[in-house]
Amino acid sequence: MQYRTLGRTGIKVSPYALGALMFATAVGNPDPDDAARVIHRALDAGINFVDTADVYGDSEEVVGRALKGRRDDVVLATKFSRPTGQDPNHQGASRRWIVTAVENSLRRLQTDHIDLYQLHRPDPDTDFEETLSALTDLIRCGKVRAIGTSGLPASDIVEAQWVAERRGLARPHTEQPAYSLLNRGVEREVLPVAQRYGMGTLVWGPLGQGLLTGRVRKDGPNDLRRAHMFQHLNDQRRLDVVEQLIPVAAEAGLPMTHLAMAFVIAHPGVTSALLGPRTMAHLDDLLAGVDVALSDDILDRIDEIVPPGTDIGRLDQEYRPPAIATPGRRRRPAAERSAA
């Protein structure tokens, strides 16, 4: 395993990181003991970077139990800000919620510190100064080692860096964007901006949240669980591109999973890519491709199918800023439109 430096933190991490969403018993592996065996298998293979979140059901608890006796060998990351209940203040990036959320995560993870604490999604209602001030205090008291963000637009990444510099606060050292053969939009601004500021990137969805596993074919059976719940798994535009990528993988002599993972970690701005295995078989398949390196010819073929900086459709779970998601932010009032 060739380790990489996580931004400018000095922390060394594996190019494959272990995403823990599928270890939540309600949505992934229903057996915590089996999930622990999967985690141990990943650690034994050299993966030293584990990422979870407070909103992933009981994932933090499963991970915490699995890491007993091995905590010091792991770079442990978790996230906050997405709603964890009905209370409107049990979410977001306010100091009030951060100081509560971190204690909850520490308890569930059974640890006294978090190596990387990440803002899970932007919070337009909270100033970056408020958020970074609270996170800086967590670093100073030893509960957090480094801080990062997830799903931030490039403009927000820049603003957070500027606020940190001007106010003398800890700056985000990482960003966690969606990135795959099907979602290359972050190549335009997010990855270059992260590189400019020396940030590490931990990318999620490298398998297109299932579409790049080889288990989904156009006009064929779809054996992914809960496929009916996610629109992106039935997006014909994305399925058409998958059909074009399958021969490329075959030409390279690779399973689709290995092509997809090797593609994302080939980008110089990517530090680690998140694996999201539910079972040991899923993990073993992905680990078998850890040393795969794509040739320029194969990368050129991919560029012809999905041009750099292009998204094919969109992921259901991607962040949509208020300027896009809220009609009132992009339409003048009807009275003004009529007057015009």
Give me the active site residues, please: 56
CA distance 48 to 82: 25
DSSP 3-state helix, strand, coil percentages of the chain (rounded to 5)? 45, 15, 45
Question: Do 117 and 138 meet the contact criterion of CB atoms below 8 Å apart?
Answer: yes
CA distance 205 to 178: 6
Any idea which residue has 């021969």 for tokens?
Answer: 247
Q: Where are the beta strands (DSSP E) in the chain?
A: 4-5, 12-13, 16-19, 49-51, 75-80, 114-119, 144-150, 174-176, 200-203, 272-275
How far the first Cα of the chain sits from its last, in Å, is: 63
Six-digit token pair at 40? 């141990």
